[in-house]
Structure 1
Amino acid sequence: MPSTQMNEKERVDGAAAAESQKNLRESEPLVEGPKGSPARKWIVVLVILAVVGAAVWKIRRNTAEQTGVQMMMAAQADRPTPVQVSSVQQKTMPIFLTALGTVTAYNTVTIKSRVDGQLMQVPVREGQAVRQGQVLAEIDPKPYQAALEQAQGQLVKDQANAVNARAEAARYEALLSAGVVSKESQQAQASTAGQAEGSIASDRAAIEAAKVNLGYTKIFSPINGVVGLRQVDAGNIVHAADTNGLLVVTQLQPIAVIFTLPEDQLPEVLKKSRAGDKLVVEAYDRAAATHLASGSLLTVDNQIDTTTGTVKAKAVFENKDGALFPNQFVNVRLILQEKRNAVVIPASALQTGTQGNFVYLLKQGQPPADPLAKKDADGPVIELPENKTNYYVMAQTVNVELTEGTQVILSGGVKPGDQIVVDGQEKLKNGSKVFPRTAPVKAGDGTTAELGMTSTTGQPS
């Protein structure tokens, strides 16, 4: 009995030891190596450290990249914007009316033959400038020279007959006094003498007509001008009744411009014209950008066109440089008055926002409430360039009085000499830093202005 209990106890203890050994094996890490070796623990530690190190490196790399981008963006935001600037000017500005006009020749003459005959020569070139009295064409003069000589011969003949007729009339007068011939015979002889005198007068007129026709064989220019394209070549037979002429001469100096004015502007124009004021008229090209010539108002038509409500006006230009040409389309500016000491800016400088018209005024230094060094929330301090003048802009409200395509007259807001931005406003706001450059002066700037208001895009911030 005691032996049986002993065996049972040993069996239970062996089962418990086996179960304990099994649990110990399950609780150990699945790392190969010698059982109970510390190498497994070090391998686990190294793996954990590698994972943690890689994560830290990745985080720091991303942070550095973000910092670089932020620094670049901050530097770009702090970089001055390039702009063009111009000075506010004070000068005399003419006030004018604008119109569309057509250049017309001051005189145009179609040269025609006044006699029939063969065209012998045209001694001028097409496009040649000719003077008044210069020969333009010659018709064959031989038939007309012969007609003149024939008329002159007839005159000599009739003059001889007249001498004989007068002598006969005197003889019959003496015979009538002696009672040898009748009164009727004496009167008949006196009539014959009178007819002879009439023939002489007729012959003289024929001679003058022949001289005129002979003179018509040479065609002279009636005006100073320029010869157009030739219509008939030498050698052709021409007639006085021909519809087309030989050529056309056009007077270009002076030259005229015909334009129209609205009827509501007519009273002011007529008032100044009737007062003896010389109204200056300026001609510009089709784009109204290039000044072509200056002239004066010659006349205004005597009636208004009821269809358009306009009246025609004519201006004359010396045109010494030939800038104006017949049938050329021009923009006309009729100057009515001059505004002295006007404050003028380029139209490109004028902006319009919720506060009305404004300009960007150039200032020297740093914008208000802006430190000398600007620091980003997560970035380093950005130092401004040393020994370099800094500029910024402020939006300045202005009052527009008069405006034209390129110039604006102001009645307040800026003063002569102020620097204003004329190009590059689309990237600006109130207080923006800028890098200014002087704008080039355009031809025609500051010459004229007219009633109106110019608006451009952009708003002050």
Structure 2
Amino acid sequence: MTMHSIPLRRFLVSAVALLALAGCNRKAPAPKLPPQTVSVITLHPQAVTIHTSLPGRTDAFEIAQVRPQVTGVIQKRLFTEGADVKAGQQLYQIDPSRYQAAYDTARGQLAEAEAAEVTARAKLERYRSLVKAHAVSSQEYDDALAAEKQAQGQILSAKGQVESAEVNLGYTKMYAPISGRISRTLITVGALVTANQTDNTAIVTRLDPIYVDVNLPAITLLRLKREMAQGRIERQPNGEVPVTLTLEDGSTYEHVGRMALSEVNVDTSTASVVVRAIMPNPDKMLLPGMYVHAQLEEGSDPNSLLVPQQAVSHNTHGDAQVWVIKPDDTAELRQIQIGQAVGDNWLVTGGLKDGERVVTVGVQKVKPGAKVKPEEATTPPAASSPDAASQNKGQ
């Protein structure tokens, strides 16, 4: 063995040892994870009845303030406080003696005027034949004619006085101007009332039916008009909008009313429009000023898409978003537009279409572009029952 072969052998042994050591340090490749399993629902159009729930207050359908129209002392009170009264029912009796006397005087003046007219007419008839025979002058005939006309005028004036006195005499009986429930009396027997006084003697309020006034946001009104123009919202066959009420204690009012009108101007301070509903109130359960929640049944959308609320999240800007599973089972985070809450679901107004799959359970496992193993949820989203109210949400 030569001296040059020894370093070469050592070099080869070292190289082999280094290669063996490198082979020992090499790790086996990590096993590939299977796709994550997520629950999805497949969206399909369905008919949904759209409701809007808004706070409001009740208001009287009719209200009349009972005030005297003549001056006098109250002789009688002819009603029970808090009872129902009918239109035309007498409520008070004012002392009629002075007005009866004025009426009798006016009738006497009328009788005198009628008697004077009889004399004047007879004289005119006599002068009419005499003036033709030139037995009286034309001036005397003209005076007789004028006297007869004056007598007729006095009769008309006397009749007016009789009618005025009769009206004032009738005003001594104070009647209920409308049917309804009367308040407590604000005067007592023996009290002096005056004509055209500003204080009421009582108030009559009609309770059946009763108004409910609610403030509808202008943006909701625009949405309704837009969806109706697009044919998405179908009105009731009779064109009316049914209204149901939830009372302040949480109970549901048993009678169904209808929307009567909406204001033509938007309140600039609240950006809302006053909507008035008419509710039947045969049991007088609703009283003016009560706080209620009114549910307006806007109509039916026959092609609605519903997505469960649990599937919807919001980004930092507050925009709604969902995870959508593409046909190749990869995930996509998509921004959508939602409308009202319908039961446990959101009404989708944009961003999704029929047949798309949305993740409902397992969203924390999903990453953009990652493959997943979708499993159809057993209970697809369903519209709420007709009596379930929903709150408006911004578009």
Q: Above 0.5 in TM-score?
A: yes
Question: Is residue 377 of structure 2 the alignment partner of residue 413 of structure 1?
Answer: yes
- Going from structure 1 to structure 2, the CA distance change for 1:264 and 1:236 (only over 3 Å counts) comes to same
- Going from structure 1 to structure 2, the CA distance change for 1:99 and 1:171 (only over 3 Å counts) comes to same
- On the 8 A contact 1:402/1:449 being kept in 2, the answer is no
Deviations 1:183-240 (A, max 9, x none): 2122112111111111112122222222222221112222221101211112111112
- Going from structure 1 to structure 2, the CA distance change for 1:192 and 1:104 (only over 3 Å counts) comes to same
Counterpart of 2:128 (choices 173, 182, 191) is 173
1:89-104 alignment, distance < 5 Å = 94-104=49-59
3-state secondary structure, aligned to 1:97:
strand
Counterpart of 1:162 (choices 117, 122, 125) is 117
Q: Unpaired runs of 5+ in structure 1?
A: 1-90, 358-400, 417-443, 454-461
Give 1:264's aligned residue: 219
Shift of 1:110: 0.4
Question: Is residue 256 of structure 2 the alignment partner of residue 320 of structure 1?
Answer: no
- On the 8 A contact 2:124/2:141 being kept in 1, the answer is yes
Shift of 1:268: 5.1
Q: Distance in 2 between matches of 1:112 and 1:193?
A: 43
1:135-154 alignment, distance < 5 Å = 135-154=90-109
Question: Is residue 383 of structure 2 the alignment partner of residue 447 of structure 1?
Answer: no
- On the 8 A contact 1:161/1:196 being kept in 2, the answer is yes
Shift of 1:142: 2.0
Letter in 1 for 2:137: S
Give 1:220's aligned residue: 175
Shift of 1:415: 3.2
1:50-199 alignment, distance < 5 Å = 94-199=49-154
Deviations 1:232-269 (A, max 9, x none): 11211111221011100011000001111111121455
- On the 8 A contact 1:402/1:408 being kept in 2, the answer is no
Counterpart of 2:251 (choices 290, 307, 321) is 290
Two-structure CA RMSD over aligned residues (Å): 3.8
Q: Distance in 2 between matches of 1:414 and 1:215?
A: 78
Question: Is residue 266 of structure 2 the alignment partner of residue 304 of structure 1?
Answer: yes
3-state secondary structure, aligned to 2:344:
strand
- On the 8 A contact 1:343/1:415 being kept in 2, the answer is no
Q: TM-score, normalised by structure 1?
A: 0.55
3-state secondary structure, aligned to 1:282:
strand
Letter in 2 for 1:408: D
Say which one has the larger Rg: 1
Letter in 2 for 1:149: D
> Once structures 1 and 2 are overlaid, which stretch shifts more, 242-251 or 208-217?
208-217
Give 2:325's aligned residue: none
Q: TM-score, normalised by structure 2?
A: 0.64
Relative contact order, CA 8 A, sep 6+: which one is greater? 2
Question: Is residue 277 of structure 2 the alignment partner of residue 333 of structure 1?
Answer: no
Q: Distance in 2 between matches of 1:181 and 1:314?
A: 78
Q: Distance in 2 between matches of 1:93 and 1:246?
A: 52
- On the 8 A contact 1:115/1:240 being kept in 2, the answer is yes
3-state secondary structure, aligned to 2:211:
strand
Q: Identity of counterpart residues, as a percentage?
A: 28
Deviations 1:377-434 (A, max 9, x none): xxxxxxxxxxxxxxxxxxxxxxxx98759x4248983439xxxxxxxxxxxxxxxxxx
Letter in 2 for 1:450: S
- Going from structure 1 to structure 2, the CA distance change for 1:446 and 1:156 (only over 3 Å counts) comes to closer
Q: Distance in 2 between matches of 1:408 and 1:244?
A: 54
Counterpart of 1:254 (choices 181, 194, 209) is 209
Task: Count the aligned residue pairs.
Answer: 291
Deviations 1:141-177 (A, max 9, x none): 2222222222211111111111111112222233322
Higher helix share: 1
Deviations 1:331-380 (A, max 9, x none): 12111124789999x99xx7999xx99xxxxxxxxxxxxxxxxxxxxxxx
Q: Distance in 1 between matches of 2:70 and 2:84?
A: 25
